[in-house]
A = this chain, B = another copy of it.
Amino acid sequence: MPEVRVDEVRRFMEDSLRAVGAPESEAVAHAALLLHADVTGHFSHGLNRLEFYINDISSGLTDANAKPVILKESAATAWVDGANALGATVGNFCMDVAIRKAKECGIGWVVAKRSNHFGMAGWWALKAQLEGLIGLTFTNSSPILVPTRAKKGTLGTNPIAMFAPATGGDYIGVDMASTTVAMGKIEVQIHKKEPLPEGWAMGTDGKVTTDAQEAFKAGRLLPLGGLESTGGYKGYGLSAIGEVFCSGLSGSNCTHRVPKWSFTRQGDPMDLGQCYAAIDPNCFAPGFGERIADCLRTWRNLEPVDPELPVLAPGDKERINAEQTTKRGSIIYSESQIESCDTMARKIGIKPLKVV
Chain A residues close to B by CB (< 8 Å): 71-77, 79, 105-107, 109, 111, 113, 134, 147-152, 154-155, 160, 162, 164, 172, 174, 176-177, 180-181, 197-200, 206-207, 224-226, 229-231, 233-238, 240-241, 243-245, 247-251, 254, 256, 279-281, 283-288, 291-292, 294-295, 298-299, 302-306, 309-314
Max chain B C-beta neighbours (<10 A), residue from A72, A74, A229 = A74
Please tell me if the beta carbons of B302 and A152 are within 8 angstroms of each other in the complex.
Answer: yes
Please tell me if the beta carbons of A284 and B79 are within 8 angstroms of each other in the complex.
Answer: yes
Please tell me if the beta carbons of B237 and A314 are within 8 angstroms of each other in the complex.
Answer: yes
15 contacts between A and B (CB under 8 A): A77-B105, A77-B280, A148-B312, A154-B302, A162-B240, A162-B241, A164-B248, A176-B231, A176-B237, A180-B225, A199-B230, A200-B230, A225-B226, A225-B235, A238-B238
Please tell me if the beta carbons of A76 and B285 are within 8 angstroms of each other in the complex.
Answer: no
Residues of B close to A198: CB separation below 8 A: 230
Residues of B close to A150: CB separation below 8 A: 299, 302-305, 311
Please tell me if the beta carbons of B244 and A74 are within 8 angstroms of each other in the complex.
Answer: no
Residues of B close to A281: CB separation below 8 A: 248-249
Across the two chains, which residue of chain B brings its CB closest to A180?
Answer: B231
Among B75, B233, B256, the residue within 8 A (CB) of A105 is B75
Among B79, B234, B314, the residue within 8 A (CB) of A240 is B314
Q: How far is the CA of A237 from the CA of B222 in the complex (A)?
A: 18
Residues of B close to A240: CB separation below 8 A: 162, 172, 174, 295, 313-314
Identify whether the interface residues of A are mostly helix, strand, loop, or mixed: mixed
Residues of B close to A105: CB separation below 8 A: 74-77, 105
Residues of B close to A164: CB separation below 8 A: 244, 248
Q: How near does chain B come to A348, taking the closest CB pair, in angstroms? A: 36
Residues of B close to A244: CB separation below 8 A: 134, 162, 164, 172, 292
Residues of B close to A294: CB separation below 8 A: 254
Residues of B close to A304: CB separation below 8 A: 149-151
Smallest CB-CB A-B distances: 10 pairs: A251-B285, A77-B106, A174-B237, A76-B76, A150-B302, A249-B284, A74-B106, A176-B234, A79-B284, A180-B231
Q: How near does chain B come to A73, taking the closest CB pair, in angstroms? A: 8
Residues of B close to A197: CB separation below 8 A: 229-230
Please tell me if the beta carbons of B149 and A311 are within 8 angstroms of each other in the complex.
Answer: yes
Please tell me if the beta carbons of B149 and A247 are within 8 angstroms of each other in the complex.
Answer: no
Q: How far is the CA of A199 from the CA of B249 in the complex (A)?
A: 35
Residues of B close to A151: CB separation below 8 A: 302-305
